[in-house]
């Protein structure tokens, strides 16, 4: 494992202190309840470590992209689920700043946990406003950032506040950066990266940064259609970025020039439409034979077998992004198979990098069979691209 340079909550005695903890509770909601509590569970070790050592904790998070105060984006369902996980009622404060909030913080005792209301109800949050950060910091002794999923944002609660209060990384932040750092700095080989998702444009930088590090790069999902187009294949009605075909061709050249292996689909599942009706008429085709009136919706069985063999031989596997239209059950087979293949290779370091890939391993009940399941989609990709994460940079080195 790569060493972690930032100071963490292990480096401070929080006893008797009031601690502002930035968490990432930006979770999906359904019918007023938390639909996936992965990110909430991931923050529990930090919350418990602080409270068990005598701290009073106020948790701060965003939820969605509200335009001002919006009851539909309240963290009330999160407070309810967090309370169930901690086995005690968690109060949701009416705001994240202001006299009432400060009074409530003043009343906190050792071991108490409260949740502040959605920090993005204030537009100053996303502007990294220093005056707003000062308001957030009032009444607190320490700042802890455990929100890896928001670490790529320079916001008031992830960056500016860390210049006001003594700042530390939480245990999840440490875990994320250690796991992702180790596959970049010292991967066990062979190292296979599987990159899927809809668009090449959003993953160009991560593909380029991974090429020198991996032994095999497997490309799937909608973005693979652009690669297929770049190799002269017809992709019918498939989602494709024609203006990115040149970049896809250059990536193929770079992989082959570095004597690495690139895996593109050799067969695909295609359907006349990307919906349940289309699912009834889906057919498997060789990549050279996709008809004009069909759209590629998943990888085919020969491609699945190719990915299986690569994962089976690997000692390190990084996966980000579904390889089919994952939200429709009939088009999710390839994505589910990748999750299963990774789970079936216990000797490998297996890292799942955020987003729908996490949903796939969680729904399949395989998350605990992975070495690391990242809570940060955009943050994990930016970290792998070698970009500076403002939320990490703001924490002093140990």
| 115-135 tens-digit pLDDT | 999 999 999 999 999 999 999
Answer whether 0.85 is exceeded by the pTM: yes
Name, in order, each residue with C-beta under 8 angstroms of 280's C-beta and a sequence gap of 6 or more: none
Per the annotation, the verdict on 53 as an active-site residue is no
CA 304 to CA 170: how far, in whole Å? 38
Burial of 22 (0-12, 13-18, 19+ CB in 10 A): buried
Whole-angstrom Cα distance, residue 194 to residue 245?
A: 19
Query: One of 48, 139, 378, 387 is an active-site residue; which one?
Result: 378
Q: For residue 229, is the peptide bond before it cis, meaning its omega torsion is within 30 degrees of 0?
A: no
User: What pairing do the DSSP bridges indicate for beta strands 295-299 and 167-169?
Assistant: unpaired
Report the run of H or E that residue 303 belongs to, with start and end.
helix 301-313
Among the listed residues 354, 384, 393, the one whose alpha carbon sits nearest the alpha carbon of residue 158:
393
For range 86-111, the mean pLDDT: 98
Q: Is 295's pLDDT higher than 50? A: yes
Phi and psi, residue 109, nearest 5°? -115, 165
Query: How far apart, in whole angstroms, are the C-alpha atoms of residue 314 and residue 326?
Result: 24
Q: Contacts for 85-91 with beta carbons within 8 Å, 24 or more apart?
A: 85/37, 85/40, 85/41, 85/44, 86/44, 86/47, 86/113, 88/113, 90/114, 90/115, 91/115
Q: Give the mean model confidence (pLDDT) for residues 248-260.
A: 95
Tell which wins on pLDDT, 387 or 54: 54
Q: Is the pLDDT of residue 12 over 90?
A: yes
pLDDT at 285 over 90: yes
pLDDT of 3 reads 58
**Residue 36 CA, distance from chain mean position:** 13
What's residue 132's pLDDT? Answer: 98
pLDDT in tens, 225-234: 999 999 999 9
Within 10 A of 306 (CB to CB), how many other CB atoms are there?
18
User: In this structure, what DSSP letter does residue 121 have?
Assistant: G
- Domains of the chain by start residue, with CATH: 9-174 (3.40.50.1260), 187-384 (3.40.50.1260)
Give the Cα-Cα-Cα angle 125, 127, 131 (nearest 5 degrees): 70
Whether 307 shows a pLDDT value over 90: the answer reads yes
For residues 123 and 78, give the distance between their C-alpha atoms in angstroms, rounded to a whole number.
Answer: 21
Highest mean pLDDT pick, 181-185, 260-264, 382-386: 260-264
For the chain, the average pLDDT equals: 95
Do residues 97 and 136 touch, judged by C-beta distance below 8 A? Answer: yes
Active site residue 355: yes
Ramachandran angles phi, psi of 188, nearest 5°: -70, 145
* Residue in this structure with the two tokens 């009074």, named with its chain if needed: 103
Q: Which one from 355, 376, 377, 391 is the annotated catalytic residue?
A: 355
Higher pLDDT, 23 or 204: 23
**Percent above pLDDT 70 for the chain:** 99
- 346: helix, strand or coil: coil
Confirm whether 6 is a catalytic residue.
no
Interval 327-379: pLDDT, tens: 999 999 999 999 999 999 999 999 998 778 888 999 999 999 999 999 988 89
Choosing from 138, 199, 213, 260, which is the catalytic residue? Answer: 199
Confidence grade of residue 1 (pLDDT, cut at 50, 70, 90): very low
Q: Of these residues, 39, 81, 153, 203, which one is catalytic? A: 39
- Can you list the pairs that 261-264 forms with residues at least 24 positions away whose Cβ atoms lie under 8 Å? 261/215, 261/216, 261/217, 261/310, 262/216, 262/217, 262/218, 262/219, 263/216, 263/217, 263/218, 263/219, 263/303, 263/306, 263/307, 263/310, 264/219, 264/224, 264/227, 264/228, 264/231
């Amino acid at each position: 494992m790569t060493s972690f340079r930032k100071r963490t909550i292990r480096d401070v005695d929080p006893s008797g202190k009031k601690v502002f903890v930035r968490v990432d509770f930006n979770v999906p909601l359904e019918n007023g309840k938390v639909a996936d509590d992965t990110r909430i569970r991931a923050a529990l070790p930090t919350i418990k470590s602080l409270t068990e050592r005598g701290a009073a904790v106020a948790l701060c998070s965003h939820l969605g992209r509200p335009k001002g105060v919006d009851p539909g984006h309240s963290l009330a369902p999160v407070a309810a689920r967090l309370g169930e996980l901690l086995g005690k009622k968690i109060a949701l404060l009416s705001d994240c700043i202001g006299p009432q909030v400060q009074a409530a913080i003043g009343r906190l005792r050792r071991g108490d946990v409260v949740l502040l209301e959605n920090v993005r109800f204030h537009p100053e949050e996303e502007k990294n406003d220093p005056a707003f950060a000062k308001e957030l910091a009032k009444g607190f002794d320490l700042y802890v950032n455990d929100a890896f999923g928001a670490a790529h944002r320079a916001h008031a609660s992830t960056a500016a506040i860390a210049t006001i209060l003594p700042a530390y990384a939480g245990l999840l932040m440490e875990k994320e950066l250690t796991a992702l750092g180790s596959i970049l700095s010292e991967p066990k080989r062979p190292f296979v990266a599987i990159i899927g998702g809809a668009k090449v444009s959003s993953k160009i930088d991560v593909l380029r940064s991974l090429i020198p590090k991996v032994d095999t790069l497997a490309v799937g999902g909608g973005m693979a259609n652009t690669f297929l187009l770049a190799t002269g294949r017809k992709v019918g009605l498939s989602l494709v970025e024609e203006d990115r075909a040149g970049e896809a061709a250059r990536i193929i050249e770079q992989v082959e020039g570095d004597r690495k292996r690139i895996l593109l689909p050799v067969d695909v599942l295609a359907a006349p439409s990307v919906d349940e009706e289309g699912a009834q008429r889906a057919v498997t085709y060789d990549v050279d034979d996709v008809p004009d009136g069909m759209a590629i919706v998943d990888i085919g069985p020969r491609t699945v077998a190719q990915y299986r063999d690569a994962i089976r031989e690997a000692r390190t596997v990084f996966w980000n992004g579904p390889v089919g239209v994952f939200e429709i059950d009939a088009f999710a087979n390839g994505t589910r198979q990748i999750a299963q293949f990774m789970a079936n290779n216990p000797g490998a370091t297996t890292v799942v990098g955020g987003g729908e890939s996490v949903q796939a391993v969680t729904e399949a009940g395989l998350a605990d069979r992975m070495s690391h399941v990242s809570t940060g989609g955009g943050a994990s990709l930016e970290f792998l691209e070698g970009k500076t994460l403002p939320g990490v940079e703001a924490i002093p080195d140990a």
